[in-house]
């Protein structure tokens, strides 16, 4: 009996060791990387792809296309062009996943949501910063408000805008500085993106800046939140946007090299700017009034 028990224990130990090493081997050979996303971005991304592989996308005209979705596709195309072959899976949630801490700690490889250069430089010792995906002067935001907020939709120029209130966060340095320079009636500080949406929906703040999304008629809905952009008016945000890759992730250096190679090739083929134009993120400036353009040029 004792002998049988001993053999059984030895067998269990051997099986445990075998499973442990098998698990480690699988982890080492894992070809999948987990990315964290807001659920609304994920839903729009999947709707736009409609079953296609991101590398197959040549046209950025389609349902649910928006800046966040273009970012995701461009990042994956660049990585693949540069020779990075791993696939990506997604964990989604109802919060704004900037994931800065996870990237700094090396638990997240890359943010598919591009960063303002001003924000990326704050964490430059923990991340690689890519070449710009949206160059300075190419980022135009809409003035989004509750569709029933009549006063917002009456604005025609910068003077009108200065009678209104807005909400943002200093964590997004470029957004915050842009709004500060507009000399608004009041600028509310709220760090959580979802809370910003609610404040504008409830008219506690008159407006917020969001990327233009003409495929949705510049009409953003999330649950009971309903916001719409003032037609034919935009704000230029005076900074460039970049992808950031963790220096502390095991794949960080190889992924960054691949990304840079891919972005250079996409830029050479003129596919990056064209993607944002096709998505409507860069508007037709013959039909859109950029009401702070002169202010930005004066500051620079």
SS3 content of the chain, % helix, strand, coil (to 5): 45, 20, 35
For residue 230, give the DSSP letter. P
Is this prediction's pTM over 0.95?
Answer: no
- Encode pLDDT of 126-136 as tens digits: 999 999 999 99
Residues 6+ apart with CB under 8 A from 284: none
Would you put residue 6 in left (φ > 0), alpha (ψ -120 to 50) or beta? alpha
Token look-up 């500085």 returns: 177
| pLDDT computed for residue 92 by the predictor | 86
Token look-up 């002067």 returns: 137
What does the angle CA 4 – CA 6 – CA 9 come to, to the nearest 5 degrees? 110
| pLDDT computed for residue 101 by the predictor | 85
| pLDDT computed for residue 22 by the predictor | 39
- Cβ atoms 117, 241 nearer than 8 A: yes
| pLDDT computed for residue 96 by the predictor | 55
| pLDDT computed for residue 31 by the predictor | 84
- Encode pLDDT of 17-57 as tens digits: 443 343 333 344 478 899 888 888 899 999 999 999 999 99
Q: Three-class SS of residue 251?
A: coil
| pLDDT computed for residue 18 by the predictor | 41
CA distance linking residue 273 with residue 27, whole number of Å = 37
**Can you name the residues that pair with 144 across neighbouring β-strands?**
208, 229
Residues 6+ apart with CB under 8 A from 89: 32, 33, 34, 35
Sign of CA dihedral 171, 180, 147, 116: negative
CA distance linking residue 225 with residue 195, whole number of Å = 11
> What phi, psi does 123 have (nearest 5°)?
-120, 25
241-246: strand order across its sheet: 115-116, 241-246, 127-134
Residues 6+ apart with CB under 8 A from 277: none
| pLDDT computed for residue 45 by the predictor | 93
Residues 6+ apart with CB under 8 A from 194: 94, 95, 96
DSSP-assigned letters across all residues of 25-74: HHHHT--EEEEEEEHHHHHHHHHHHTT--GGG-----STT--HHHHHHHH
- Spell out, as residue ranges, where the chain has pLDDT lower than 50: 1-29, 97
């Amino acid at each position: 009996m004792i002998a049988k028990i001993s053999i059984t224990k030895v067998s269990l130990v051997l099986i445990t060791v075998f499973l442990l090493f098998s698990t480690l081997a699988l982890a080492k050979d894992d070809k999948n990387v987990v990315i964290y996303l807001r659920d609304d971005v994920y839903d729009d991304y999947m709707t736009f792809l409609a079953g296609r592989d991101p590398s197959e996308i040549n046209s950025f005209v389609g349902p649910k296309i928006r800046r966040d979705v273009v970012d995701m596709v461009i990042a994956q195309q660049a990585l693949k062009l540069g020779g990075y072959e791993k696939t990506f899976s997604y964990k989604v949630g109802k919060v704004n996943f900037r994931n800065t801490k996870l990237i700094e700690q090396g638990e997240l490889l890359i943010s598919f949501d591009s960063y303002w250069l001003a924000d990326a430089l704050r964490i430059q010792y923990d991340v690689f910063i890519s070449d710009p995906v949206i160059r300075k002067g190419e980022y135009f935001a809409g003035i989004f408000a509750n569709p029933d907020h009549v006063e917002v939709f009456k604005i025609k120029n910068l003077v009108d805008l200065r009678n209104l209130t807005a909400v943002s966060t200093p964590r997004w340095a470029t957004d915050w500085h842009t709004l500060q320079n507009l000399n608004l009636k009041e600028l509310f500080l709220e760090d959580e993106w979802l809370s910003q949406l609610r404040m504008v929906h409830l008219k506690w703040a008159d407006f917020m800046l969001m990327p233009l999304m003409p495929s949705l008629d510049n009409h953003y809905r999330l649950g009971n939140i309903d916001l719409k952009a003032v037609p034919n008016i935009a704000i230029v945000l005076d900074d460039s946007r970049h992808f950031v890759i963790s220096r502390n992730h095991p794949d960080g250096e190889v992924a960054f090299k691949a990304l840079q190679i891919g972005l250079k090739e996409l830029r050479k083929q003129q596919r990056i700017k064209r993607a944002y134009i096709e998505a409507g993120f860069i508007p037709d400036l013959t039909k859109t009034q950029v009401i702070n353009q002169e202010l930005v040029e004066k500051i620079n």
